[in-house]
Structure 1
C-alpha cells in the first residue's frame, strides 16, 4: 500500500471517529476527482456540485463502508460518484418522459421513491436544516465549500476574509453541523451514522 493510500485510509479511520479536520483534508484531496467524474457523466455544473455534496455527505456518515481489500480510495469514490451521476441521468430522463407523456399516462411514468432515495433525500433535508441553525459566517463558508465545490482560497476571496479565518469558520461550522445532526438523531455522539442505517 502506497504512502498516499495509507494516508487516505488513515483519514477515513479518523472520519469514522468524528474528526472534522480529517474530513476537511479528505475533501480537499478528493473534491476535484469527484467533481470531474460527475461532470463527465451529467455535463451540468449545478448537478455535479449536488453529486459532490451527496458523495461527501455519504463519506462523512458512512466512512466505515470503505474496504481497503476491495480497492483504492479513488476507485471507491469513483464508483460512488458514477452511481449517483447515473441515477441523476435516469431521473432527468424520467422527468422528460413525464413532461412529454399525456396526462392519462402520467401514473405510468411517475417513479416510486426507493428506500435508498428516500433516505438520501431525508439526509439532505436534515443537513440543510442543521446548516440553517449555525452562525451566518460559518453557514456561508460551509455552503460555498461543500455545496458549491469552492476551494478554501476561493471562499476567502469571495468573503473578503483571511484564509486562516475561513478555515476556522469551516471547522467550527462543521462541528456545529455535527452537533445539530446529533441532536436531531441523525448521528451518534461519536460522529458516526446512527446504528441500523
Structure 2
C-alpha cells in the first residue's frame, strides 16, 4: 500500500498511526497460540539476536540467550502490558537484561578463577584487571539504565542496543521525532549524573 512501511512488526500507515503486531501476537501467545509464537519469533528473532550479540560478542552464547529469551516470552507473555510500551520494546528489554545477566555470571566466574590463579601463581595481570574494570563499568551502565523513566530507557535501549535511528524509534514508539530526541538527551544526561560523569 502506498505510503505504508513496516519496521520490526509495527505497521506505519500513511496517517502516521502505528499498529503493534508484536503486542497483538504476544496477546495470542499468552493464550497458548503456538502459531502466533512462531510468527513472533520469525518477526523479532533477528533483531533480538543482534542486540544480544552486541552485548555478549560470543555467537554461541548469544544463540543460547536468544533461546532463553523466547522461552521466557512464551512463559510470561501474559505479563506484557500494552499500555506500558510496544511489544517489541518489551522483548528487546528482556533480551538486554538476560544478556547483561549472562555477562555478569561470566564475569563472576572469571573473577573467581582469576583470584584463584593469582593466589596460586602470585602474579599480577594488568590485562585481567582492565577486563574486570570494563565489565564493572558495564554493570554500572545497566544499573543506571534501570533508574530511568520507561520512555527514556526505551529510547536509549532501542538506539544503543537495538541499533535504531532516532527516526525509526519515533515510528516504532509512535512519538514525534522531537520527543524522541528530548527523551534521549534527558536520559543520557541522567545516565551521566547517575554514573558521576562530568561533561
- Give the TM-score normalised by structure 2: 0.48
* Higher relative contact order (CA closer than 8 Å, sequence separation 6+): 1
- Give the TM-score normalised by structure 1: 0.49
Q: Please identify the structure whose Cα radius of gyration is greater.
A: 2
Task: Give the strand-richer structure, 1 or 2.
Answer: 2
